[in-house]
Chain A
Amino acid sequence: MARVFRTMLADGHRPRVGDGDDMLGVRSGIDVKPDKAGNVAPGKGMSVGRAWHELPLMKIPRRLEDKMPNGFPIPRGSNEPCIWQMGDGPFVDGDLENGLRLRVTPTKPKHAQIEPGVVMPLVELQKRLAGTLDAWRLIDEDPDCPAKTP
């Protein structure tokens, strides 16, 4: 499975599941646009990045400023969430577990979405995304992440 990175709040030592900002899940109307029947289709999903330091600068916690490998960008993210990673494979299109699919944005190779593999109800997509909970782990570069504190 492709290695992907995402900024998410923590619940204990795991990402927070939900449909809000910085959670393991999608925001209806922003990340996905359900049809009248409440279904979502491949093409939109939960944003992930190719590398933690390539995430949007407002999604990288400010405490990681000194860890940026090139000296830029300077992060402007909240210090409340953490950066999590999942998988170890190359960052390319492909099927994930749970009937989900990774789709790299064609013109932006640093960005991808975890989207439904087929048309499914939004609640089903949320359930399948939540099903990846145990696959996420914290990046090593962030020892001060709130999820690492006892």
Chain B
Amino acid sequence: MREAVEKRSPEFLVCVRLLRRLDEIIAEGNGDGPEADAVRSQMEEPWYAMTEGEQHLLDLLSADVCTLWKATPLRQAPKAEARAGFDAALRTEDWREVLAALHRAPGLAEAPQAALMRAQAWRALGHPDLADEFIALARRLLDIAPPRNTAVRRRRATPMDLPTFRSAGR
């Protein structure tokens, strides 16, 4: 399923902006303070005005942006079923499912590879700014990646190129 770039509603874009602002406030240690509550209140009306599809996308985004500053959880080898579903989502370019699968089973990809996949997904979903943040994350992770991570490091040869993932098994 190749997903055409969808036009997002104004409410979605407002929620993204407010979410990023809320993250700044939480990072300052004021997540339970009045400013954070005010941002949450501002998010309510646009949240309920969005379609379920956009709400789901914002749910994914809320988890993806956390990987920009925080290590992902301990990785367990994914079950064969999860791997097969993930590969199918990559093959069909079902980017929402790719993003969801990376959170359901973080062991599907190493951190730099996951960052690149997220970059590709968000670019395909029409959010190039967010994609650029994941490219930058991938670069940072590759700089500290162990030497054995050759599959991902090889792709650094042309750093501005965005690798295209067809199968996580490659």
**Residues of A bordering B, CB below 8 Å:** 21, 30, 47, 56-59, 62, 70-74, 76-80, 107-111
Contacts and interface: CB of A to CB of B under 8 A. Distances in A.
Given A58-B40, A71-B63, A76 B47 contact: no
A21 B40 CA distance: 10
A58 B18 CA distance: 10
B51 A57 contact: no
Contacts of A77: 40
B36 A78 contact: yes
5 contacts: A56-B44, A76-B26, A78-B36, A78-B40, A110-B52
Given A58-B22, A78-B36, A107-B52, A73 B62 contact: yes
Task: Count chain B CB atoms within 10 A of each CB in A47, A58, A62, A108 and give the residue with the most.
Answer: A58
B141 interface: no
Nearest to A80: B32
B108 to A, nearest CB: 11
Contacts of B41: 21
A57 B23 CA distance: 12
Contacts of B22: 58, 76
Interface string B16-56: 00010011001000011000110111011001100110010
A56 B22 CA distance: 14
Chain A interface SS verdict (over half) = loop
A58 B59 contact: no
Contact of B26 (A21, A62, A73, A80): A62
Contacts of B88: none
Chain B interface SS verdict (over half) = helix
A108 B37 CA distance: 25
Contacts of B23: 76
B32 A57 contact: no
Contact of A73 (B31, B44, B63): B63
A70 B100 contact: yes
Nearest to B106: A71
B127 interface: no
Nearest to A69: B104
A43 B92 CA distance: 41
A56 B32 contact: no
Contacts of A47: 48
A57 B52 contact: no
B100 A72 contact: yes
A76 B52 contact: no
Contacts of B19: 57-58, 76
Contact of B60 (A58, A72, A80): A72
Given A56-B44, A56-B47, A72 B32 contact: no
